[in-house]
Amino acid sequence: MISYRLRRKLLNLLMTLGMLTATLLVLTPLGLIFFHILKMGFSSINLDFFTQIPKPPGEAGGGMANGIVGSGLLIATASLIGLPLGIFGAVYLSEYGSSRFSSLIRFSADVLSGIPSIITGMVVYGLLVVPMKGFSALAGALALALIMLPIVLRTTEEQLKMVPMTLREASLALGVPLWRTTLKVTLKSALKGIITGVLLAVARVAGETAPLLFTALGNMFWSHKLNEPIAALPLQIFNFAISPYDDWHRLAWGGALVLVTLMFTLSLLARWFGRTR
Amino acid sequence: MSEATTDAKIRLDRLNVHFGANHAVKEVTMAMASNSVTAIIGPSGCGKSTVLRSINRMHDLTPGARVNGSVLLDGEDIYRKECDPVTMRRRVGMVFQKPNPFPAMSIYDNVIAGYRLNGRGRRSEMDALVEQCLQRVSLWDEVKERLHVNAMQLSGGQQQRLCIARTIAVMPEVILMDEPCSALDPISTLKVEELIDELKEKYTIVIVTHNMQQAARVSDTTAFFYLGELIEMGDTKKIFTNPEKRQTEDYITGRFG
Amino acid sequence: MPRPSHAERPVIFLPPRWNIKRGLNGDFLFKGVTVLFAISILGILLLMAVSMYRQSLPSIHTSGWSFIPGKEWDPVGGTFGALPYIYGSLVSSLLSLALATPLSIATALFITEVANRRVGGMIAALVELLAAIPSVIYGLWGVLVMAPWLQRTVEPFLNDHLGFLPFFSGPPYGVSMLAAVLILMIMIVPIITSITKEVLLAIPDSQREAAVALGATRWEMIRMAVLPYGRSGILGAVILGLGRAIGETMAVTMVIGNTPKISLSLLDPAYTMPSVIANEFAEASSDLHAAALMEIGLLLLVVTLIINSLARLLLWGVNRPTGGQA
């Protein structure tokens, strides 16, 4: 009996240690990745990085300014397409939807968010690139918008559901039509939560690379036209990382530092908005 | 029936429980005799469940809970350093407010769950134990045909009796019951009350209840708590007919609480 | 809300018919717009499937069923067999899942059952951070840091000591199936961990108390009450991780070596379905080549649709009993 008790205690200790070890193992790559990004990134970032376009291989210096601007343009355009769709789709789910149809939409959104993003890129290629006879920033933005859509939809719906019914009733009782109530009362009181969701969605697509491969394509030069191929930070990181040139590797690390800083800032902002609800 | 009793199974000595800044139980000293039923009554939030849960160190699981003072089980403090709470809890079983059978297990496996922790017995031994425990909670006849179906198929009252069977299968000395009937219908409540009466032959029972009739029906001793303090404790009949303290009388006659 | 109500006040005094009519029209329009937007999600999903199917038709007609078991991929000669990519996808994702699952569940258990609230919250936040890192950055780190390290130390070591096994034979390239498995593992661990953590947090404390009151140690409580209660949710989390691993493109493309060869050795380079699309689609040499890549995409889409539906159904099943009992 006593030996059995000891065995049980020992097993408990062993398993607890195992869980601790697993946790440390899981966090190790995080530490390593951040260490390398900081170490390699800071040494390659300077003013040129933010003002110059990449130099041809073999020439030192150059920057990723066109990629940063291109990413900004892509994200902004994607938001213009994806946010209204997601937010008003969510309004339907939380304010009007019958439970059956809403479940179907919700399920579709969840499934859509699990589709590999490279497939989204292929679909947009067939939808926009082939008819327009060329890669374009617009196609890239559409692909990113399709990735944002389910995220924005689901988070917005969660937020709208948290708005108390009494608030809506108070407005309706004053004779305000339902649609104005939804716009001015329901959406307004859920605004901070919705912003959190939007920021998280933007953070997610800011780092997406695969859907841009056959849509925005990338560009070594400046471009700000929606109907032409455009540079994007993640695409540049990809192309430079797999190139054999040390100078380009350095640029890729710099780009990684910028991208990670951006995502970090966005998720901190999202947290801040989420907290002061 | 007071602290002077020498055959006290459980003795609380200046017990204090804090949850963060909230002082939930204040300087409680009381004793429970062997093979008796002690009822703890009082208005909601008076600390009665907190007292009960300190008797088998359930607060160990609650973040921010602090327990001071001592709880003596057969004269030994369960809060002393060398005491292993895991072993101690096999001597002090507990039945909860809501029936909580393990939903992934069959009726049979639920009963035997605690027993199995100390090694697998022989099949025939376990079968006998399951039958014996289910008999004792008078559930055997209702479930003997379907011992291996999922426990969640039982009704609420049956589930609670299953939980009691699961508790006694470990062969504890003390059974703590935290409002065991509050989620049950009147008929199931009656069955559980009858069961408590039978169980006290072998076990020391401490029951928290918000139902004063229940306390009067099942207990030998009653303790009245108010705002975390033990106001009065004594023979159940005396507490309900001739309490010493004003607060007790007010509560029992329904003037507050 | 004093301001909106003040602004609306005149409406109350208008003739009722006018008010109702205006309200109805506005509501009808508004509702119409939201319905349209909601349906668009469903539409997009269908559109994706249809468009992928139609664009892969040339390849489906040309190659027929031999597309899947075919081992040869020759864009110039016009022969397309997808087996090396299917094999690479299956092996890399299943192996990474096998490594990630125990690590993730153990980490989630550590967060919810062992660590105190502050430490657990901190670890959970770090895990979320890990999940937010873009895959191209994992790839960058994988190809410039991890692969050279594998080539210098790990792969020679494995080859020296376990080289008699077919899994560890051959020269160390660095970029290899092993690298892909490891980078995928690092990437899916945070996903499985954070969903498992949510599943575990949804388990009512009464279950844990029941086990502890029976005299269970912490590990026995986990085995008796926590894991069985959460099993379908945890399975959902693992399957979601599988879906993510199969569809992962950038990081794998950067470290797997991109060689369409079926080899048992983990030290050899390989290729996956998303990787071949990423590498060849923009510069497809012929319409048939593009259609063949589309067909690989279609296969990928079907597989991920099935996997994700399954995972979501399992995860939806979890929340219901908890909500009902709480």
| C110 and C237, same domain (yes or no) | yes
The predicted structure's pLDDT at residue B2: 44
The predicted structure's pLDDT at residue C316: 79
Q: How far is A81 from chain B (nearest CA, A)?
A: 46
Domain range enclosing C15: 2-64
Lowest mean pLDDT among B43-47, B227-231, C119-123, C302-306: B43-47
* Mean pLDDT comparison of A10-24, B116-130, C10-24, highest-scoring range: A10-24
Q: How far is C310 from chain B (nearest CA, A)?
A: 21
For chain B, give me the number of helices (H) and strands (E)? 10, 10
d(CA A183, CA A171): 11
Contact C216 B117 (CB under 8 A): yes
Contacts of C84 (CB under 8 A, 6+ apart): C71, C73, C260, C261, C262, C270, C271
B19 touches chain C (CB under 8 A): no
Residues B3-27 have a mean pLDDT of 85
> Which whole-number Å values give the CA distances from B163 to B150, B156, C213, C226, in the listed order?
14, 11, 11, 17
The predicted structure's pLDDT at residue B31: 94
C275-284 pLDDT, tens digit per residue, is 999 999 998 8
C121 touches chain B (CB under 8 A): no
The predicted structure's pLDDT at residue A272: 87
Read out DSSP for B184-242? Answer: S-HHHHHHHHHHHHHHTTTSEEEEE-S-HHHHHHH-SEEEEEETTEEEEEEEHHHHHHS
B86 touches chain A (CB under 8 A): yes
B61 touches chain C (CB under 8 A): yes
Nearest to A6 by CA among B108, B118, C296: B118
B104 touches chain A (CB under 8 A): no
**Domain B8-101+172-252 coded CATH 3.40.50.300:** yes
Contact C37 A84 (CB under 8 A): yes
**Looking at the predicted structure, is the pLDDT value of residue A159 above 80?**
yes
Q: C39 to chain A: which residues are within 8 Å by CB?
A: 105
Residue of B nearest to A4 (CA): B118
Nearest to C148 by CA among C131, C166, C126, C172: C172
Q: Which chains touch B (3 or more CB pairs under 8 A)?
A: A, C
Residues C157-167 have a mean pLDDT of 92
Residue of A nearest to B85 (CA): A9
| C60 and C169, same domain (yes or no) | no
The predicted structure's pLDDT at residue C8: 40
**Looking at the predicted structure, is the pLDDT value of residue C9 above 50?**
no
Q: A8 to chain C: which residues are within 8 Å by CB?
A: 217, 220
**Looking at the predicted structure, is the pLDDT value of residue C172 above 60?**
yes
A5 touches chain B (CB under 8 A): yes
Residues B65-82 have a mean pLDDT of 93
Q: A202 to chain C: which residues are within 8 Å by CB?
A: none
The predicted structure's pLDDT at residue C22: 52
| C276 and C160, same domain (yes or no) | yes
Contacts of B229 (CB under 8 A, 6+ apart): B26, B27, B28, B47
Q: Which structure tokens are listed for C146?
A: 């991890």
Q: Which structure tokens are listed for A239?
A: 């192309």
Q: A1 to chain B: which residues are within 8 Å by CB?
A: 118
Residues C155-164 have a mean pLDDT of 92
Q: C217 to chain B: which residues are within 8 Å by CB?
A: 86
Contact B87 A1 (CB under 8 A): no
Q: Please tell me which of the candidates A16, A116, A125 has its beta carbon nearest to residue C300.
A: A116
Residue of C nearest to B104 (CA): C228
Contact C141 A33 (CB under 8 A): yes
Residue of B nearest to A7 (CA): B118
From the candidates A33, A136, A166, A205, which should be mutated to test the interface with C, based on the most C CB atoms within 10 A? Answer: A33
Residue the block writes with tokens 């697509």:
A205
Lowest mean pLDDT among A45-54, A63-72, C11-20: C11-20
Mean pLDDT of chain B: 91
Q: How far is C167 from chain A (nearest CA, A)?
A: 24
Contact A92 C34 (CB under 8 A): yes
Read out DSSP for C295-320? Answer: HHHHHHHHHHHHHHHHHHHHHHHHHH
**Band of residue A124 on the pLDDT scale cut at 50, 70, 90:** very high
Q: A4 to chain C: which residues are within 8 Å by CB?
A: none
Lowest mean pLDDT among A34-43, B94-103, C3-12, C118-127: C3-12
Q: How far is A10 from chain B (nearest CA, A)?
A: 13
**Looking at the predicted structure, is the pLDDT value of residue C189 above 50?**
yes
B191-250 pLDDT, tens digit per residue, is 899 999 999 999 999 999 988 999 999 999 999 999 999 999 999 999 999 999 999 999
C113-156 pLDDT, tens digit per residue, is 999 999 999 999 999 999 999 999 999 999 999 999 999 999 99
Distance between alpha carbon C253 and the CA centroid of its chain, in Å?
Answer: 16
**Single-letter amino acid code for the residue at A266:** L
Whether A26 contacts C103, CB under 8 Å: yes
Lowest mean pLDDT among B33-37, C22-26, C206-210, C248-252: C22-26
C26 touches chain B (CB under 8 A): no
Q: C319 to chain A: which residues are within 8 Å by CB?
A: none
**Band of residue C26 on the pLDDT scale cut at 50, 70, 90:** confident
Residue of A nearest to C114 (CA): A16
* Of C64, C90, C115, the domain-final residue: C64
Q: Please tell me which of the candidates B84, B86, B119 has its beta carbon nearest to residue A4.
A: B119
**Looking at the predicted structure, is the pLDDT value of residue C69 above 90?**
yes
Nearest to C75 by CA among C263, C268, C239, C290: C290
| C45 and C132, same domain (yes or no) | no
pTM of the model: 0.90
C215 touches chain B (CB under 8 A): yes
Asked casually if ipTM beats, i.e. exceeds, 0.85, the reply is yes
**Looking at the predicted structure, is the pLDDT value of residue C302 above 50?**
yes
Domain count, chain C: 2
Contacts of A230 (CB under 8 A, 6+ apart): A70, A73, A74, A136, A137, A140, A216, A217, A218, A219, A223, A224
| 3 state DSSP class of B176 | strand
| 3 state DSSP class of C164 | coil
Q: How far is B90 from chain A (nearest CA, A)?
A: 12
Sign of CA dihedral C21, C23, C29, C31: negative
The predicted structure's pLDDT at residue A2: 62
Exposure string of C205-218, with b = 16+ CB inside 10 Å and e = fewer, is eebbbbbbbbbbbb
Mean pLDDT of chain A: 92
Contact A109 C41 (CB under 8 A): yes
Percentage, residues of chain B above pLDDT 90: 81
| C82 and C17, same domain (yes or no) | no
The predicted structure's pLDDT at residue C18: 44
Residues A67-76 have a mean pLDDT of 96
Nearest to A211 by CA among A69, A83, A95, A112: A112
* Of C11, C29, C64, the domain-final residue: C64
Q: Cα-flanking dihedrals φ and ψ of residue B204, to 5°?
A: -95, 125
The predicted structure's pLDDT at residue C315: 87
Chain B segment 183-242 residues within 8 A of C by beta carbon are: none
* Of C37, C64, C91, the domain-final residue: C64
Residues C260-268 have a mean pLDDT of 94
Q: A5 to chain B: which residues are within 8 Å by CB?
A: 84, 87, 118
Residue the block writes with tokens 């009960």:
B52
Q: B167 to chain C: which residues are within 8 Å by CB?
A: 213-214
To the nearest 5 percent, what fractions of chain A are helix, strand and coil? 80, 0, 20
- Helical H segments across chain C, by residue range: 2-13, 16-63, 83-109, 117-132, 135-141, 147-149, 155-162, 177-201, 205-213, 218-221, 227-247, 250-255, 273-280, 287-325
Contact C107 A22 (CB under 8 A): yes
A8 touches chain B (CB under 8 A): yes
Contact B61 C205 (CB under 8 A): yes
The predicted structure's pLDDT at residue C285: 87
Q: Where are the domains of chain B?
A: 8-101+172-252
Contact A8 B87 (CB under 8 A): no
d(CA A186, CA C10): 21
Residue of B nearest to C114 (CA): B61
Q: Please tell me which of the candidates A19, A22, A153 has its beta carbon nearest to residue C41.
A: A153
Residues B117-145 have a mean pLDDT of 90
Exposure string of C24-38, with b = 16+ CB inside 10 Å and e = fewer, is eeebeebbebbbebb
| C202 and C232, same domain (yes or no) | yes
**Could you tell me how many CB contacts below 8 A there are between chain A and chain B?**
11
C127 touches chain B (CB under 8 A): no
Q: Which one is predicted more confidently, B256 or C290?
A: C290
Chain B segment 99-118 residues within 8 A of C by beta carbon are: 100-105, 113-114, 117
Contact C110 A22 (CB under 8 A): yes
| 3 state DSSP class of B59 | helix
B154 touches chain C (CB under 8 A): no
Percentage, residues of chain C above pLDDT 70: 90
| C60 and C74, same domain (yes or no) | no
Whether B167 contacts B94, CB under 8 Å: yes
d(CA A273, CA C279): 40
Contact C311 A20 (CB under 8 A): no
**Looking at the predicted structure, is the pLDDT value of residue C10 above 80?**
no
**Looking at the predicted structure, is the pLDDT value of residue C269 above 70?**
yes
| C81 and C46, same domain (yes or no) | no
Q: Which chains touch A (3 or more CB pairs under 8 A)?
A: B, C
Residue of C nearest to A264 (CA): C129
Residues C290-309 have a mean pLDDT of 95
d(CA A228, CA A193): 35
Contact C106 A18 (CB under 8 A): yes
The predicted structure's pLDDT at residue A139: 96
Q: Which structure tokens are listed for A244?
A: 């054999």
Check which CATH number belongs to the domain holding C236 and give it: 1.10.3720.10
Q: Cα-flanking dihedrals φ and ψ of residue C64, to 5°?
A: 60, -145
Residue of B nearest to A5 (CA): B118
The predicted structure's pLDDT at residue B122: 85
The predicted structure's pLDDT at residue C2: 41
**Single-letter amino acid code for the residue at B184:** L
Q: Please tell me which of the candidates B58, B104, B166 has its beta carbon nearest to residue C231.
A: B104
Contact C12 A174 (CB under 8 A): yes
